[in-house]
Structure 1
């Protein structure tokens, strides 16, 4: 029995000695990286270096790991990670190693994560502790708190961030004193100050809470310092102390060209959207050089986008990567997404991925709705302009728990003013109102269970009335003597996206997205009526993985699109149902300096037949600051001739469709090939970062539905292309920061767009060959209360445009062959009073450029020559607006 007891004691002692011989440390470090390949490399290096666990997150740039400090130091692990090519808090990777990383791994190296190293921290003695602070006021507060907690004396040094305590252990303890110091607002190595206490310190006392203990803060005049975790344990040996968690926030450019993307993709964030009024999506591109925005006609007040010299209908417009503005919603859908709901926009020129569908020809514009950021926020915006337009937006984002977040988005607007600036008897813009609401629910547990989900539901109702100033919407249309326009829209959407990342396989995932949309339009344009209804169901299943290693990735899956259309134009009814199941596969090859993305999809369209859509994108890094991109691809779509030509409904043109045996209005689908090349160059100008991008794209139509305005001024004739149709687009853009806080953007665009019409080859009307663009943004330095001014201005030069041939009209109702060039200027001044209140005032078309007589024969709207669709310039003069933003 004694032998058994001795054996048990010996076993316990041996086990205890083994356990105590291990010193498992947990630490978090900042390590730079960008993608799943970086994640694999960082975690593998850490584990090979001795870490027991290692988990790196690309969004936060944080590496969390556990290691036995008796066997390996954090210093050695970070050194090995740098040798593998990744900058971190203590070591910077060698340039030659960084350059050899795959292009997708070329993270931004500035600003650097390097902080004062452990070895550089002051060595502390017994009864010395690290306490954060800044100034003499901090010193007085810290020493007073120590005295209250029972210290006989204390001395705090701002440079070393050390407090030296002299106390009687019989009366108090270091723990009690440090706790009291935290209660008055000063973080220390054992306790953290409460957030509300810290925020109420004088501005001169606001220290940097992200720095390692022992590193002196620069003076901070902000309450935006992140709060560290509250479970800081005492550290007995400062020599082996791990570097505290550091958080560095990179200020994103308002519009940034993504160097990692294979395609020419611009990321537009909320800062860019605040440079202009941005009341809806159509106005979100006023400060963007890539997209052209213009009025469609003189009676509806709607705006349309053009990209690469072609109409909006050839660009895929998605929301949350789901089909959004298409089909019958094309003419007015941009007005149904409020600008203050937008969290960001991704704009891709040229052929986009086959994963998102077949309709993209000139590019894709994806809108992301506002979601919960790092902290909950409720915002209120009110807006008004001199033309009687009023708008209110309320957005609220919040965390329900650790995994669930929600967004509530509300919008309402009303146009009450009746303006007729050119005295032609017609309203410059319609009156009316809109009510819009959306709810988003998000689940994110990707790091643990691998699951993520996004749910959304929205409803909008919009009603507009325009036409002659004496038109009375209360009188029945059949009894009106005045020409009126009425447009009543409603749309309901519900969607869900769910994704799963396979455990221990961050490169492998599966996602499924579904959406149902119903869109209704009831409208009249003088004596003609148009009613349209579209019900759409969309589903897309995507599986992503690798072939061998992460240099060879692929996406594959299946999609299904269902469209049911029901339209009435005058006395004719047009119904059709389109069902389109499809399959796709996309392969990504990543080399040291290049990335290739090649994909293809096959769609089985019940009316347009089987369609094969290949697309390829190639990016080559000629140097770290010089990037060449090439793209080619095919796209197809079915034309909605009535909905997409409503800008000409405000006229007395008769519509004719010359069918050729197709199953959609008797017409064949539209098919086009797009080819593109671009060169991106980054360099230093005025010793500051600058970039130059030049791109050329060509679109060749294999089939196209042409809208011919030239055969007769009294007709609009649709027919399929018989011959050639092409669009050449060249753009060069320079972004430069000549002075601190001053950003300049200059761009020039050239378009050559022609087609073989029935009367011969000619230019597409309403497309200026030459366009110039200049944007300047400046902001003052932030003051202690986060107050600052910002100034933004955008100048655009629009060259001559080919106009439709109206020569068979009487002379007074004809147009010249080409329009005159004109210049527009938009500007805005904003004042941020603090972090939560912002006021702004701005102006649109401050040059007062206006088209003379935008409505042909406005005095006789029921006559043969009346036409409000010949718009090539602004129809309204200068517009002044004001607004207020509040955040809670």
Structure 2
């Protein structure tokens, strides 16, 4: 009994000792605040390395971490957009340790994932095809009502207005005209042909994840129209989209734009992204005094939905749709809808109704088989003065791809089927153009070594009008170092031409369209050498240099000839060559102070040679520059953005030797400034001035629209051959012509907007 009593007493003493030790200074507490140069950083991740202890800062940047074992610990603080903070702390007493943690802004940008160059999701640095990526942040630096306008600050890309009256346009890449650019939504060829004029309007910015641009032919993957380049608008998925977002702005010219985006959970495995865009402009402004609207009046609405379904093994299933309607008109200030289609008061009135559906379905098999599909229906009801233009276009597309890795080969096999239908009321379309084009393509990306990869690809298309069409391409990537990449791309492209995708110069009655022969498909060959370099400095500055040399040679090029006869546009296949060549470079620099800039320049020579005579392509500049400069005043929660572009002279479509308008445009520039305040939770307020220099194309010209006082040519005299005769009231022998256009007529104007986002 004495032995048991002694051991029991010893056990009680030991238990009392450990109990006191446990309650007396074994654990510590850590409190503090996370800041960025004195400004609280909310929701930063705070943890002790190699432990399970962690927390995050609240809206005021404050955090508290309890029950920390005594001793030495490695404190880590991380937050997207900042460098990770690391510090060894010594906890030797039960008193609370208090810290103020200052995070340093990380200038290095997270590497984007791109899909456009190879139809596969890869890191941008790993893609053998150079792909330019632009985020919603880039779009916000100069807010616009459409993607068409937003692209004006992308180097080598220019929105071209094709009509002084109705203000429709297309996108030029490296000096090549709009029909050579294919526009995709989520990788599907939704916007093409007739829809190119209007399809870049009405896509809600709140649902855009990024815009990817490839310069150069991509027909080996995407078929016809991807001759000069392509633009892929990628929408957000539900993980990245906000629960609700709204963006509204107005301008001093009376333009109103509203974007609304929302994420809706239907069930545990089904969610929907909803986007609505509404734009309205109904002011009659004629600052250049020609009795014509300087800006087309517009009333536009677009509704977008994207359904995402969760499936077994994370297989893909999504369906999206968009409806677009627009009523726009421009013309004489006295025009009203009662004059539509008549010859009393001139106006160009366009009703557009368009709907689209697209989707992706990954087959429930072991192999990675993806079925993609899209369909769009575009109805156009237009009146150009007394000339009606009624057109319908329907495009259906389906594609099946098989993605397979075998050793050092990454293979993509695909089959596609495209349905094209086009009909209009013009004499050029005697019967509806309807064709089905089947395609097969294969692509093999080969890892030659750790730093070298080679891509080989070829596509076969069969068009009953033109027979067999083959489009091969190759791409080589050399990762010279961790920060230097050299890419060499070569490939071919083709375009089956549908001439009447709304030729304004003909439909306004100014010129007749003459087609001298049966047009053959255009073919192109392109070589592109791209160099990309990342630079890191000791003070935290991060820079990227991206430079390219490009050369594109077209055969069978179909070009409008405005010069032989001022009353005609003559189309035929070029008996010679058409060449686009040049150099392009971007420099993107981000400083730790909050200052950053993106500057780009392109020098290009775009010309045609026929019968030994070489001439510059009309409406194509020989150099261009763009810039985006921003500074973030963190203490004031204010950001300033200064954006702009500069264009060199371009040859313009004048009406002969007696036309007093300049044959070449001057050097011109559009510049903008914006201030954005982020001082309230979930809100952003922004405002500024667009077109700071108040530049408009009428500078230096006696007029822009020829014979705006006689738009129906009622007082124009013609001789027996159809040529215009000079008369006292028409001394320069001109006809009505609104095709002399190379830039917007909008002058300086202020703007103000509000953004709200709920996550």
Shift in alpha-carbon separation, 1:776–1:425, aligned structure 2, 3 A: same
The aligned counterpart of 2:357 is 494
Contact kept in structure 1, 2:493 and 2:524, CA below 8 Å: yes
The aligned counterpart of 1:436 is 302
The aligned counterpart of 1:510 is 369
Contact kept in structure 2, 1:597 and 1:618, CA below 8 Å: yes
Shift in alpha-carbon separation, 1:746–1:402, aligned structure 2, 3 A: same
Bigger share in helix: 1
The aligned counterpart of 1:466 is 330
Aligned length: 666
Give, in angstroms, the shift of residue 208 of structure 1.
Answer: 9.1
Residue by residue over 1:804-848, the C-alpha shift from the partner in whole angstroms, topping out at 9 and shown as x without a partner, is 35334xx3x343332211222122111112341011113222111
Give, in angstroms, the shift of residue 357 of structure 1.
Answer: 3.0
The aligned counterpart of 2:446 is 589
Matched, 1:707 2:566: no
Measure the CA separation in 1 of the matches of 2:112 and 2:735: 46
Give, in angstroms, the shift of residue 320 of structure 1.
Answer: 0.7
Matched, 1:383 2:249: yes
The aligned counterpart of 1:603 is 461
The aligned counterpart of 1:42 is none
Contact kept in structure 2, 1:651 and 1:869, CA below 8 Å: no
Matched, 1:267 2:133: yes
Measure the CA separation in 1 of the matches of 2:475 and 2:638: 42
Matched, 1:791 2:621: no
With the length of structure 2 as denominator, give the TM-score of the two structures. Answer: 0.81
Measure the CA separation in 2 of the matches of 1:804 and 1:136: 64
Q: What is the aligned counterpart of 1:830 among 659, 676, 683? A: 676
Contact kept in structure 2, 1:768 and 1:798, CA below 8 Å: yes
Give, in angstroms, the shift of residue 650 of structure 1.
Answer: 3.6
Contact kept in structure 2, 1:358 and 1:613, CA below 8 Å: no
The aligned counterpart of 1:39 is none
Give, in angstroms, the shift of residue 218 of structure 1.
Answer: 5.6
Residue by residue over 1:11-52, the C-alpha shift from the partner in whole angstroms, topping out at 9 and shown as x without a partner, is xxxxxxxxxxxxxxxxxxxxxxxxxxxxxxxxxxxxxxxxxx
The aligned counterpart of 1:454 is 318
With the length of structure 1 as denominator, give the TM-score of the two structures. Answer: 0.70
Shift in alpha-carbon separation, 1:879–1:204, aligned structure 2, 3 A: closer
Matched residue SS, 1:354: helix
Matches of residues 149-164 of structure 1 in structure 2 within 5 Å?
none
Contact kept in structure 2, 1:676 and 1:698, CA below 8 Å: yes
The aligned counterpart of 2:496 is 638
Gaps of 5+ in 1: 1-123, 138-158, 163-187, 226-247, 660-665
Measure the CA separation in 2 of the matches of 1:254 and 1:470: 51
Give, in angstroms, the shift of residue 558 of structure 1.
Answer: 0.7
Q: What is the aligned counterpart of 1:683 among 516, 535, 539? A: 535
Measure the CA separation in 2 of the matches of 1:208 and 1:823: 55
Q: RMSD of the TM alignment (CA)? A: 3.4
Contact kept in structure 2, 1:301 and 1:428, CA below 8 Å: no
The aligned counterpart of 1:536 is 395
Measure the CA separation in 2 of the matches of 1:580 and 1:315: 19
Matched, 1:622 2:480: yes
Matched residue SS, 1:259: helix
Contact kept in structure 1, 2:422 and 2:434, CA below 8 Å: yes
The aligned counterpart of 2:720 is none
Which piece of structure 1 moves more, 538-547 or 250-259?
Answer: 250-259
Q: What is the aligned counterpart of 1:558 among 408, 412, 415? A: 415
Shift in alpha-carbon separation, 1:800–1:161, aligned structure 2, 3 A: closer
Matched residue SS, 1:449: helix
Contact kept in structure 2, 1:672 and 1:701, CA below 8 Å: yes
Give, in angstroms, the shift of residue 279 of structure 1.
Answer: 1.6
Contact kept in structure 2, 1:559 and 1:581, CA below 8 Å: yes
Give, in angstroms, the shift of residue 371 of structure 1.
Answer: 2.9
Q: What is the aligned counterpart of 2:705 among 837, 855, 873? A: 855
The aligned counterpart of 1:821 is 667
Contact kept in structure 2, 1:203 and 1:221, CA below 8 Å: no
Contact kept in structure 2, 1:530 and 1:570, CA below 8 Å: no
Give, in angstroms, the shift of residue 679 of structure 1.
Answer: 1.3
Give, in angstroms, the shift of residue 262 of structure 1.
Answer: 1.0
Q: What is the aligned counterpart of 1:316 among 167, 182, 186? A: 182
Shift in alpha-carbon separation, 1:287–1:572, aligned structure 2, 3 A: closer
Residue by residue over 1:73-113, the C-alpha shift from the partner in whole angstroms, topping out at 9 and shown as x without a partner, is xxxxxxxxxxxxxxxxxxxxxxxxxxxxxxxxxxxxxxxxx
Q: Which has the higher contact order (CA 8 A, sep 6+)?
A: 2
Measure the CA separation in 2 of the matches of 1:208 and 1:715: 79
Contact kept in structure 2, 1:133 and 1:217, CA below 8 Å: no
The aligned counterpart of 1:732 is 585
Contact kept in structure 2, 1:207 and 1:219, CA below 8 Å: no
Measure the CA separation in 2 of the matches of 1:475 and 1:206: 69
Matches of residues 219-230 of structure 1 in structure 2 within 5 Å?
none
Shift in alpha-carbon separation, 1:640–1:574, aligned structure 2, 3 A: same
Give, in angstroms, the shift of residue 133 of structure 1.
Answer: 5.1
Measure the CA separation in 1 of the matches of 2:697 and 2:527: 35
Measure the CA separation in 2 of the matches of 1:806 and 1:136: 70
Matches of residues 320-331 of structure 1 in structure 2 within 5 Å?
320-331=186-197
Q: What is the aligned counterpart of 1:667 among 519, 524, 537? A: 519
The aligned counterpart of 2:209 is 343
Measure the CA separation in 1 of the matches of 2:134 and 2:410: 27
Contact kept in structure 2, 1:346 and 1:365, CA below 8 Å: yes
Measure the CA separation in 2 of the matches of 1:212 and 1:356: 60
Measure the CA separation in 2 of the matches of 1:370 and 1:160: 31
Q: What is the aligned counterpart of 1:802 among 626, 631, 651? A: 651
Matches of residues 248-267 of structure 1 in structure 2 within 5 Å?
252=110, 258-267=124-133
Shift in alpha-carbon separation, 1:392–1:554, aligned structure 2, 3 A: same
The aligned counterpart of 2:276 is 410
